Amino acid sequence: MPADGVRRSTRIPKEISILLTGSDIEGKVFSEETKTVLLSRHGAGIVSTYKLSAEQELILRRLDTNKEAEVRVVGQLGCESDIYTYGVAFMDSAVNFWGIKFPVPSEIDKKASVALLECSSCEARETVEHSDLESDVYHVNEGIVRYCKQCGSSTFWKRATERLDVDPVPVPAPVAVERKQVSAPLLAEEETETATVAVAEAKPAVRSENRRKHVRTAVSFKACVRSFAFGDDVVSCEDISRGGLRFKSRKAYTVNAEIEVAAPYSPGTQNIFVRAQIVHVIELKEERSYRCGVAYAARSKR
């Protein structure tokens, strides 16, 4: 990634009046007339008076052309008083939303945008190629929020450091010696398989444009999980989407457990419970709790 303070030519400082529609970090829906401060082929730098969370989805509309596009909040770039600056990226990477011909990134920029990142939760590693806005967010926050397939949720990723406790990969020389006693047809088959694996391991991980079926929105309200094992369990809901939600509880739920859930949940009022299933569970030992991912049953409509 480019060094701090280096401004890449793929960004253009420009103010354009926009209408931003979505929900804030508390789940409250808003519609705000605001502006861009930076344009990119991948998205924009925008200002807002609302607190937003990384990975949530918004609708951005140009007030001069009425063109609309779905965007994803990459992260916060700055804050002054109650005004926040965010980097947002287009959900459709092929869209030419601004009608501007942006300079082509140099080879140095392309190489600098590739980095090996590590999930701060499960320590999974991926080689990713950042866009210009993602690079800006990364440097401002010394990391970036992105979806982790292993955790099943959005987590904070930082540049991976060298692991000293990992055994070195054995060199292929001893394997070649042992293969001298193998018949020619079998050797050719093994070599083909080895070459295939080598190519797969050497190829950098490609960023998926559609990383999940439904975009999650960060929330901070209570939900009630009803199950045969624990009865009614009032939990803290962390994010929600049309396909499910994520919550934290002190109860040790198991994967594939059938549940009913009401979100948000208000004690003493009529709450609507829908059928769902626990799809992943992560134990948070320091907090003595569990983070659970929930998928609504197929026939449930929200």
**pLDDT, tens digit, 9 for 90 and up, residues 33-54:** 999 988 888 888 999 999 888 8
Q: Lowest-confidence range among 76-85, 140-149, 191-200, 278-287?
A: 191-200
Do 178 and 155 lie in one domain? The reply is no
Integer angstrom CA distances of residue 269 from 91, 262, 272? 38, 12, 10
Does residue 190 belong to any structural domain of this protein? yes
Does residue 210 belong to any structural domain of this protein? no
Under 8 Å between Cβ of 297 and 276 = yes
SS3 119: strand
Do 190 and 120 lie in one domain? The reply is no
Do 252 and 276 lie in one domain? The reply is yes
d(CA 189, CA 185): 6
Specify the residue for token string 């991926």.
126
Q: Lowest-confidence range among 85-99, 193-207, 213-227?
A: 193-207
Under 8 Å between Cβ of 117 and 159 = yes
Classify residue 231 as left (phi > 0), alpha (psi -120 to 50) or beta.
left
| pLDDT reported for residue 145 | 76
Does residue 4 belong to any structural domain of this protein? no
d(CA 244, CA 117): 27
- How confident is the model over 252-270, as a mean pLDDT? 87
Under 8 Å between Cβ of 274 and 297 = yes
Does residue 84 belong to any structural domain of this protein? yes
User: The domain containing residue 40 runs over which residues?
Assistant: 11-90
Q: Is 62 exposed, middle or buried (0-12, 13-18, 19+ CB in 10 A)?
A: middle
- pLDDT, averaged across the chain: 75
